[in-house]
A and B are shown apart, each in its own frame.
Chain A
Amino acid sequence: MERLTKQAQTIRCHILAMITDAQVGHIGGSFSSADILTALYFHIMRIDPLNPNWPDRDRFILSKGHGATLLYSALAERGFFSVDELSTFGKLGSILQVHPDRNKVPGVEASTGALGQGLSIGIGMALAAKLDKKNYHTYVVLGDGEIQEGQVWEAAMFASHFKVDNLTAILDYNNVQLMGNVPDIMQIKPVKEKWESFGWNTIEINGHDFSQIINAVNSAKMKKGVPTIIIAKTIKGKGVSFMQNTCEWHGKAPSNEEYKKAIRELKA
């Protein structure tokens, strides 16, 4: 856990630096999922950074594609490409586009960014595993604003109908979207009951607690015959006090002053 905590902190520092330097990017939603991705990439997933196309690899899809800086930081730290590459983020010609491009970055499985599409794609990968009798697991991280998209529910229906139990969805439930708090924009509650009514197994956790994340994933993988969604209560902007719980930092890039204040907190 100590190791994972430090790893997540390093990742948050990368995210902050990338977005400040490029003056574009999504801090709030990248920070809220940071612990989830740290747990996945540094403890849970069976992947090989030197073999990003290894057919038996676990698949990960960041359906909330605006968290790209988080994904890139995790991939770089894990060894899929050089950490030096991160400084090219958001600049013309970079492989690190503001939303992930599957054709440019080793380790990126889908070109997400247009919300609501990742769960369907993940289901396709999980179905392929069943067809090919492979054991890899597919993970899809969704945003809470994102589940306002109808396609997500089409996918949810399908996954339950087809018993796609080799896929685990994780909801980054930070309660804030671009224009404001989720309940004020478009109420999504009751979340757990909705997913259960669609035939899913649900597990509620604190999305910043590594043991809860890991235990939930283990439990999800053991659950046969139904797909599982881990509903992770998170804090948008988690890690920097003045960036937390506000839509202000959904897509704003920090000034140099703000960067200094933020990095001091992260490194404390």
Chain B
Amino acid sequence: MVAMREVFGKALLELGSINENVVVMDADLGSSTKTTYFAQKFPDRFFQVGIAEQNMVGIAAGLASCGKIPFATTFAVFLTKRAADQVSISVAYPRFNVKLIGAYTGLFNGATGASHMAVEDMAIMRAIPGIVVIDPADAEEMKQAVKEISEYKGPVYLRETRDEWPDIFNADYKFSIGKSSVVLDGEDVTIIACGVMTSESIKAAEILKKSKINARVINMSTIKPIDTDMIIECASKTGAIVVAENHNIYGGLGSAVAEVLAENIPTPMLRIGIRDILGETGRNHELLEKYEMSAEYIVGAAKRVINNNKNLDSIY
């Protein structure tokens, strides 16, 4: 296992070699986001803006208007909150080809605590018209996503997970924007997950199997545009859905799935995610447990939704 930010950094470096239009911008966090590899190899195409995210996004827009493909990289919290207006009006509204990279997502940010925890980044980016939102599940998907988004014409928001998470995909996998994939098949319940919660959902499925429950696990790495067909198919086939994300239960993947279900095929659904609270300093596995997002909680939700019990608060 390699830390996903390392994978990102190396993928960006490789991209720099094959596409001379790619430029990278950093807001004084390069050693954390690993844009340093690109910076070392291509110093002329790397722009250090200092601690100035709004300016970074604006400059990225200007570069994109001249045919460059800027990867504007900083922590997700600062990119999506401090620079939300710039993302919306400088980048998304004119449809500039800027790749917005939000590092250190959800609870897992190297124990830096609440101020550095992006619990609402997907909700914000999802609600700004015109931005593709992606949360890769593992190293292989991260590597492919970096390349894919550079070829997509238009604004993209990519979540750059920080740490090591279990491998799910190998080189046979083909990441495609907007396409989710069936990681495990099953008929009793569907767990739709994105980012690091996909591997956690696979663990949950393995636990559920012991209770003779066959869970289908979907990796829905593109949150916008959402894979509507897959959601409807899973609802139809399994009749019960759990959504797991490393994000607030308001506004992210859970909300996106609920929107599709409610309008097409109302189905019992429960959300696993950050329950509308900023986190705290802690190690990843500690936070996963304390904030009730680990496999056992996904298992609990799956069992409850199968039994049509919507009251998740009973686990407190």
Q: How far apart are A160's CB and chain B's nearest CB, in angstroms?
A: 12
Task: Name the contact of A127 in the complex, choosing from B52, B59, B85, B90 (C-beta under 8 A).
Answer: B59
Inside 8 A of B67's CB, which chain A residues have their CB? 55, 128
Whether B59 lies near A111 (C-beta < 8 A) is: no
Inside 8 A of A158's CB, which chain B residues have their CB? 49-50, 52, 55, 59
- Distance A127 CA – B62 CA, assembled complex (angstroms): 8
**Does A131 lie at the interface of the complex (its beta carbon under 8 Å from any beta carbon of B)?**
yes
Q: How far apart are B268's CB and chain A's nearest CB, in angstroms?
A: 42
- Given A117-B86, A117-B89, A125-B65, A154-B94 contact (CB < 8 Å): no
**Does A77 lie at the interface of the complex (its beta carbon under 8 Å from any beta carbon of B)?**
no
Q: How far apart are A173's CB and chain B's nearest CB, in angstroms?
A: 22
- Given A123-B59, A124-B63, A131-B23, A113-B89 contact (CB < 8 Å): yes
- Given A117-B86, A117-B90, A128-B68, A110-B52 contact (CB < 8 Å): no
- Count of chain A to chain B residue pairs whose CB atoms are closer than 8 Å in the complex: 108
Q: How far apart are A63's CB and chain B's nearest CB, in angstroms?
A: 10
Whether A111 lies near B89 (C-beta < 8 A) is: yes
- Distance A217 CA – B14 CA, assembled complex (angstroms): 42
What total of chain B residues lie within 8 Å of the partner, measured CB to CB?
30
Task: Name the contact of A124 in the complex, choosing from B44, B54, B64 (C-beta under 8 A).
Answer: B64
- Distance A123 CA – B59 CA, assembled complex (angstroms): 6
- Distance A113 CA – B67 CA, assembled complex (angstroms): 23
**Does B45 lie at the interface of the complex (its beta carbon under 8 Å from any beta carbon of A)?**
yes
The chain A residue sitting closest to B25, CB to CB, is A124
Inside 8 A of A124's CB, which chain B residues have their CB? 58-66, 70
The chain A residue sitting closest to B57, CB to CB, is A120
Map CB proximity to B onto A37-49 as digits: 1 under 8 Å, 0 otherwise.
Answer: 0000000000000
**Does A102 lie at the interface of the complex (its beta carbon under 8 Å from any beta carbon of B)?**
yes
Whether A154 lies near B23 (C-beta < 8 A) is: no
Task: Name the contact of A151 in the complex, choosing from B47, B50, B58, B70 (C-beta under 8 A).
Answer: B58
Inside 8 A of A126's CB, which chain B residues have their CB? 62
**Does A121 lie at the interface of the complex (its beta carbon under 8 Å from any beta carbon of B)?**
yes
- Given A127-B62, A157-B50, A121-B44 contact (CB < 8 Å): no
- Distance A132 CA – B44 CA, assembled complex (angstroms): 11
Within B50-93, which residues are at the interface with A (CB < 8 Å)?
A: 50, 52, 54-68, 70, 85-86, 89-90, 93
**Does A150 lie at the interface of the complex (its beta carbon under 8 Å from any beta carbon of B)?**
yes
Map CB proximity to B onto A46-75 as digits: 1 under 8 Å, 0 otherwise.
Answer: 000000000100000000000000000000
**Does A114 lie at the interface of the complex (its beta carbon under 8 Å from any beta carbon of B)?**
yes
Q: How far apart are A155's CB and chain B's nearest CB, in angstroms?
A: 5
- Distance A162 CA – B25 CA, assembled complex (angstroms): 13
Whether A125 lies near B44 (C-beta < 8 A) is: no
- Distance A157 CA – B49 CA, assembled complex (angstroms): 9
- Given A154-B55, A158-B55, A120-B66 contact (CB < 8 Å): no
Task: Name the contact of B90 in the complex, choosing from A101, A121, A161, A162 (C-beta under 8 A).
Answer: A121
Whether B94 lies near A103 (C-beta < 8 A) is: yes
**Does A191 lie at the interface of the complex (its beta carbon under 8 Å from any beta carbon of B)?**
no
Inside 8 A of A123's CB, which chain B residues have their CB? 55, 58-59, 62
- Distance A119 CA – B56 CA, assembled complex (angstroms): 11
- Distance A154 CA – B51 CA, assembled complex (angstroms): 9
- Distance A103 CA – B64 CA, assembled complex (angstroms): 14
- Distance A55 CA – B67 CA, assembled complex (angstroms): 9
Inside 8 A of A155's CB, which chain B residues have their CB? 55, 58-59
Q: How far apart are A124's CB and chain B's nearest CB, in angstroms?
A: 2
- Distance A113 CA – B90 CA, assembled complex (angstroms): 10
Task: Name the contact of A122 in the complex, choosing from B52, B60, B62 (C-beta under 8 A).
Answer: B62
Whether A111 lies near B93 (C-beta < 8 A) is: yes
Which 5 residue pairs of A and B lie closest in terms of their CB atoms, listed nearest first? Answer: A124-B62, A120-B58, A128-B66, A154-B55, A154-B52
Q: Which residues of A contact B (CB under 8 A)?
A: 55, 101-103, 109-114, 116-129, 131-132, 150-151, 154-155, 157-158, 161-162
A-B contact pairs, 12 of them (CB 8 A): A109-B65, A110-B65, A111-B90, A117-B54, A117-B89, A123-B58, A124-B58, A124-B59, A125-B66, A127-B47, A128-B66, A132-B66
